[in-house]
């Protein structure tokens, strides 16, 4: 079950840099772990932005929410979620 997610990170310019770095470090570990598990299928940087487009592959909506809402940078992010399904013109039965 695929979901398209856009995340825009906004860290206040006067936020403590050490805490920010620590949050980013844990976020990276978390993201890489989820990628290795196959939950976070795609993760692209949007050029020129502190933002990403991602595709998540989860068993249900609850799992999607649990993943996103426990990311260390979640309180700093604007997030848009769109459920995806097979496009009738896709050549793949299952485009992950």
**Which parts of this chain interact with its own copies (CB under 8 A)?**
1-5, 11-15, 27-28, 31-32, 35-36, 42-50, 52-53, 55, 60-62, 64-65, 68-69, 74-76, 79-92, 95
As measured in angstroms, the least distance from the Cβ of 25 to its own copies is 10
Cα separations in angstroms, 70 against 21, 36, 40, 86: 17, 18, 14, 28
Nearer to its own copies by Cβ, of 22 and 95: the residue is 95
Q: Shortest gap between Cβ of 16 and its own copies (angstroms)?
A: 9
Distance CA(61)–CA(51), nearest Å, equals 22
- Helix (H/G/I), strand (E/B), else coil: 95: coil
């Amino acid at each position: 079950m695929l979901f398209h997610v856009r995340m825009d990170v906004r860290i206040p310019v006067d936020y403590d840099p050490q805490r920010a770095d620590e949050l980013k470090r844990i976020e990276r570990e978390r993201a890489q772990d989820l990628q290795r598990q196959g939950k976070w299928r795609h993760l692209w940087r949007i050029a020129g932005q502190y933002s990403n487009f991602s595709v998540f592959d989860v068993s249900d909506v609850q799992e999607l929410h649990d993943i996103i809402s426990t990311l260390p940078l979640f309180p700093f992010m604007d997030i848009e979620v769109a459920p995806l399904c097979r496009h009738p013109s896709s050549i793949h039965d299952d485009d992950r």
